[in-house]
Each structure stands twice: as structure tokens, then as C-alpha cells.
Structure 1
């Protein structure tokens, strides 16, 4: 009898202990199913030191992240296994997650589906590419920019002078495929048919480099409000490249008196004043070829400020006597929009693996949801005017165009 009573007491004791200890869910399921090129965001609730791993090509566990959250994206359908180790002296945890990835039910588009922001700096093609009409707002101009570059549309949009930008995305996450370029962006760059300087590089003409930023929708709200990372092109680490550059443009007064340059197409040498955080100032000139306002007419502001990385000027006056009649804008090697002609596909294509943080350290992103392009130089080229990046269609290189038959 005493043994029975003791057993009952012990059972009651353990039962009460179990009720007093709350069971905390890890916050991660055992199995997930998702379409390819869509994100699975894994967020563990337990604290500790995190280590996410997956099998590599040799079948061995390979650490893929040490951040608390792990975002999984797959280019191809299949069964994937992700293992989480939470290293904690009191409560170590090992948890395996199976992710089943299937083909999308509705085929993704290879092309841009949405423009989220269009904010050009002043420029000679602003208010015409796309065209401003009375009553247009920032939203209607965004829609016009979207109509220009979404789908198979191939209409140029101008970003104006340094810093002017556009932000766009696709109907899926663009996957960072190892060892491959991930997307391309078309511009209107060209190489000069002739050059007064016989010793000049061949890759020169009208090359107006735009810098690329990318962002992953980590909070999954569909808005480009997460961290941005620059794709470090060929010039990123060079000493003449300046990071954390800032410039402010000032809207000219309506009654401003023009200061034309004699015997020149430049109709106002002091049209739009600018200052920067390096203590410099100057002017964006106006020319007779583009007589509309250069300051974005839909923005109700007397100043526009932009910041980012600024590249060294790439324009050289190659005219005889350096009289400003023949400027050549030389291409940088790789990593910039509107920097090489569109027929050079490798030169106009980009690898998400080039992403770096604000300190220039490489960052691994499984994919990106938002892409931003901005003009990367602050440069005036005589009668040619300011250097301004133009762009048109962008394409995800991992999505096959259904109108193009695969090679047999």
C-alpha cells in the first residue's frame, strides 16, 4: 500500500511540474512547401548562437548562415533539407527542416513587373523621358516609368544627373545562382564610330554608367524599405571612387536670367546650381537642343538631394585643340548600367554575388526583390550636357522567354 501511495504522489508531483513549465515553440515547422523563386523566411524563437547548414555537392553539411533569420530561395524544384543548430550551453537545439519546392502554377515573367520609385535628378531629358504633362504627380510619373520599362516594353527612361534613380522588381525573387549572372539591364550606350585620338581605347563613345543597388524583402511586406547593398563593379575599390557622396541641386528661379556661352549651343551656363559634401559647387548647363525645364516639374521642392557612390569622370575632350567639340565617354570594365552597348550581353549583365555592405564587405543574398539604378557620375560635357544614365528593359536571366525556343 505504501508503494502505491508513493507512486501516486510521485505521479502528481511530476504532473504539477509539467504544468508549471511552459512549452515554448521553436517557431519553425518541420516541413514547408513553396513555389520556386519564392522565399521561405525561417525565424527561430529561441536565443543563442545560430548556425544554418545545408548539404553541399559532396553531401557534407556546409554552413550557409550564422544570422538568426535564414531566408531560403530555390531556383529549381526539388526537396531541400536545412538544418539549424542553436548553440547554447543550457539549451542547445538541433532542428531539421524539409522544404519542398515545386514549379509555379502560373509561369513567371522574365521581365520587370513593377516600378516602385522614379526619382530623377535634374537633366536635359527629364520631363521628356517619360514626358511630363500638366497635373502629373509623383505617382503618375511612376506609372509612366513603369509603362516604359515593364514587360517587353523597351522605352528609355532618363535618370538625370548624379544620384537620380529608379527602383523596380519582378513578379518573383531573382535568385542568386552560384557562378552565374542573374539579371541584365538594357541602356542606350554606344561606342564611337571614330575617335580623333588614334590611341584611345575602343570601348568609348556614349557610356553613362549607372550604379546598381539590390535589396531582399526580408520583412516580406512588398515595399523596398529593407537594407540596400551595392553591386561592386570594376571601379568600386579604386581610390578615385568616392563613397558616401552627397549632392544637392537647387531649382532655378522662374525669372532667372540666362547666361549663354557665346558661339555655343549652351544657352545657360549657370542654369541649375549644385553643391556637394566635398565642399564643391558648380552648375548644370542648359542647351538649345532641350528647352524644357530640367528640374522635375512634378516635385514640389526647391531642392533635391541624393547620395551614394560616385565614380571618377569618364569623359575626355578628344577634339583637336581641346575645344570641347568632341567628347568621348569611355566605358568602365564591368558592373554598371548604360555602360556598354546592349549587344554585349555579358557586359550589361549583373551578378547578385557582387553585393557588398556599406563598408565594402561582401554580403551573401539568396536572391533580391528590388533593384535600384542611379546615375553614378557628376559630369558636364560641354554641348553634350550632363552625363545621365538611361535604361529600358530589364530581364531575369534565369527565366526562359516562352517565345524563344530552346536550343535542340
Structure 2
């Protein structure tokens, strides 16, 4: 009997010891991610780890080493200031202990600052550079708007308006879950400008048969005072003066490669739809290339890195991307009735194409209304300096050898006669040399160049054979007014 009693007592003791050890097994914390929790000021985040073995546990919560709570399984982190935080959860009982860390980043709030006094004259660019401070992120998104219209999506804004008034400008910055908006009024002051790009900065024509370099007006009216045989800089000044008061007079750009560069007295604003209108003589298959430039550094001239092409249907169709033609004045000969002007040309291909152009003019049929001998058919800058002795000379600033460069688009223009028409230009179609879109607030300069190299089927003289028509008078490009369509005055 005693033996049985002791055995039962031993079993009870062993069972008690076994139960005591089981109830104090070491606790384990699970469900804690290693990813950083990103919060903003004002956020509250509940940290709720999973725990095994709950009996007899003590709990502590520490933030950056400082105890913030005890005796609770969950902890609510209150994001009151920016910074990096380590929240440590500690647990222990008689069987052992465990701890896990939560990494929390409270991002800096976005703060925007913009000048209070924003003012600019109409058709001038105001560069607005806001102050932006906030979290160190790479996903910032910006938007500038007036009313419902978004006018910019970069941090800085080049603001321009073709009309006067006061406009409420909103700037929105977004990063992560934060979005902040700042509002400012911008005052646009009234100003007077000339609608036409009247200033001629550069005149670089390419000659052809019966080419008339001295024309500022209608090429067919050379007899009636549209010729201005002047030194180069004087010619630019004269063309500028005439175009300032009248957008009608044209410049003869000539054959392939010829171009002219024009300047507005203001910046043409880039808005929705066509921004400019160019009047020129060309055919439906012979559209000139138009290049535009915004005066970024405000130095008053178009720098090489500021030029962009206006995309049209011909973009990318060039058969030669870097073509050159060099024209060289050769000589002038006269007899009792006629004057003969010669110039040569060649290109830059491996086997150069080349040729000679001869203009044969009678003295009696080449007199203008004021009794001077016309420069029609002469090399650019060449003029009869003394009619009695029939002497010719190259006026100051003009050169006897000129090279024209650019892309060449070879095209059969049979059945597509040139005529005076209007070419609408949308600044939003500006592209760089790679053909990629370029965002411009507006433009100050325009360059118009002949890039189509024309061929035609000559049914009259060659039985329909394809013939080089680049030097033919009827294929010369002429450029007249270049108007700002945004300018209402």
C-alpha cells in the first residue's frame, strides 16, 4: 500500500513539473516585415505583430531606444515629426525572450514657395523658379495650371501670355502620398508689337536661272522698284525696314539650300493649335523646311543649339541628310547688245555632281523703270556698277563663293506648280535632330529653307524624261510675311 502511495505521489510531482515548464516556453514574435514603413506627418500606424506563447509575457515598446509603452501587444505610432525611426518590440517570460524591429520613415512635408509679385509684359517670357522642399524622392510630379488648363508639367515654368490681364496661377507638387498646391496671381502688362517677323538677320539665297537676289517684293515686278542692289548689311537693313511696315514683300530664297533667318520683336507664345502663318511661294509637293528658336539665354540671337525643326510630312524622308552645294561666280562677258553672267556649282558627294549656269540678257530688255540695269540673273551680290562701261562688281559683304548645307529630299514635282499660299506653323511640332518632341514656351526666330531638290518630267524638250529642275526660275522659293497668329493687335 505504501509503495503504491509513493508511486502516485511521484507521478503527480512529475506532472506538475512538466506543466510548469510548458507554460513558460520562450515567446516568439512573427509577422514583422523588413520593409521600411513610409509615413507622412499626421499619419498614425498600428504595429500589430503576431506572438506565440502568450502566457506570462511582459511587453515593451521602444522608439529610437526610448521606452514609449509597456504591457500592450499592439502599438500606435504617431508621425509627428520627420525622420527615421526604429520601433523595437520586446517580449519576455520565464521561458525566454524575443524582440523585433520596425523601420519607419516619416517623410518631410512638401513646402512650396513662389515669389509674391509676378509680373511680365505680354509676349515676353517670365521664368518662374519655385522653391520646393520635401522628402528625398525621385517620383515628384508637377503641374502648373490656369483654371482647368494645364500649362506646364516641369518644376520650373516659362510663363508667357499673348494677352494682358491678371491670371491665377496654380502650382501643384506631388510626391508619394503628398500633394501640395500653391496659388499666385501673375500680372501681364499690355505692350505693342509688330505681328510680322520683320527683322531679317540672315539672307543666304541659292542662285538659279534668272535668280534675282536684290528683290524685296514680288519677283515678277523687278522693273518697278522692288530691286535694291545694296551691300549685304545695307540690304538686310532695307529688307527689315520694308517688312516692318508691310508683311507683303518677299525675299527670293532661290534653289535648293537657300534660306533666310527672321526675328520677331517679341516672343510668339506657344499655345494650342497653329501659332504662326508663313506666306510663301511653293508647291504642294515642295513645302519648305521651317526651323524655330527660342532665345533661352536672352542674347538677342539664335544660337546653334537653340534651333529645332517643325515636323511635317517630309520629316525623315531625306535621301541625303548632309548635302552641300557650292556655288562660285565665274565671270561676266558683254558684247554690244548682251551681258552674260556665269557661275559654277558642285556638290559634296563622292563623285561630285557639277554644272555651269549662264544667264544671257539684253541690255534693252533688262532696264528697270528708274533706268538702272537689273540684277536679275546675276550671282548674289553681283551688280552692274557702271552701265556706260558695262562694268560689274561684287558689292561689300557678298561673297563670290557660297556653300549651302542641309538635308536633301529629292522629289518629282511634275504637275505641282508653285503658287503663293499660307503655311501654318504649330510650335508644339518642334523636334530635335533625333525627331523627338521639344517643349518650347514660344519662339523668337524663324528660319525658312528650301530642302526639296526638284525633278520634273520635261515633255516639251525631252519627251517626258526626268530632268533636274533645281536651277529653274519657276522652282525658286520665295518667302513673304511671317505672322504671329496669337497677337491680336
Q: TM-score range by the shorter chain?
A: 0.5 to 0.7
Tell me the secondary structure at the aligned position of residue 325 of structure 2: strand
Check 1:110–1:302 CA distance in 2 against 1; reply closer, same or farther (3 A cut).
closer
**Map of 2:211 onto structure 1:** 125
Q: By how many angstroms is 1:228 displaced?
A: 0.5
Return the offset for 1:312: 2.7
How much does 1:56 deviate? 6.7
Q: 1:75 aligns with which of 119, 141, 162?
A: 162
Contact 1:118 1:142 in 2 (8 A): yes
Q: Do 2:259 and 2:447's aligned partners in 1 also have CA atoms closer than 8 Å? A: yes
TM-score, length-scaled by structure 1: 0.65
Match of residue 294, structure 2, among 216, 232, 241? 216
Matched residue, 2:256: 162
Distance 1:385 1:33 in 2: 51
Deviation, structure 1 residue 369: 0.9
Distance 1:27 1:224 in 2: 33
Aligned 8 A contact 1:31 1:97 in 2: no
| In structure 2, C-alpha distance between the alignment counterparts of 1:397 and 1:122, rounded to whole Å | 32
From 116, 119, 144, the counterpart of 1:33: 119
RMSD: 3.8
Separation in 1 of the partners of 2:425 and 2:292? 11
**Cα pair 1:37 1:75 within 8 Å, conserved:** yes
Within 5 Å, which residues of 2 pair with 1:307-318? 307-316=405-414
Offset from partner CA, 1:93-135 (integer Å, 9 cap, x none): 989573513351x4333223422222222334243324453xx
Paired residue total: 316
Q: Which of 292, 295, 311 lines up with 1:232 in the alignment?
A: 311
Instruction: Return the structure number with greater relative CO, CA threshold 8 A, min gap 6.
Output: 1
After superposition, residues 4-403 of structure 1 pair within 5 angstroms as: 29-43=115-129, 52-55=142-145, 58=148, 64-66=152-154, 70-76=157-163, 77-81=165-169, 83=171, 96=182, 98-104=184-190, 106-123=191-208, 124-130=210-216, 131=227, 133=229, 136-178=230-272, 180-189=273-282, 208-225=286-303, 227-238=306-317, 241-242=318-319, 244-254=321-331, 271-277=343-349, 280-283=352-355, 285-288=357-360, 292-296=377-381, 297=394, 298-316=396-414, 328-329=415-416, 341-342=420-421, 345=422, 348-379=423-454, 380-381=468-469, 384-385=472-473, 387-400=475-488
**Cα distance 1:113–1:385, how it changes in 2: closer, same or farther (>3 A)?**
closer
Q: Distance in 2 between matches of 1:156 and 1:137?
A: 18
Give CA-to-partner distance per residue, 1:144-200, whole Å, 9 cap, x none: 22234333241221112222221112222111121x21111112347xxxxxxxxxx
List runs of 5+ in structure 1 lacking aligned partners.
Answer: 1-25, 191-202, 258-266, 317-327, 331-338, 402-408
Q: CA contact under 8 A between 1:51 and 1:63: conserved in structure 2?
A: no
Q: Secondary structure at the match of 1:283?
A: strand
Contact 1:149–1:394 under 8 Å retained in 2:
no
Q: Which has the higher strand share?
A: 2
The structure with the larger Rg is: 2
Change (3 A) 1:271 1:114: closer
- Separation (CA, whole Å) in 2 of partners of 1:284 and 1:42: 56
| Length-normalised TM-score, structure 2 | 0.55
Task: Please list the CA deviations of residues 359-387 of structure 1 after superposition, one character each: whole Å capped at 9, or x if unmatched.
Answer: 11111212111111111223442883473
More displaced, 156-165 or 299-308? Answer: 299-308
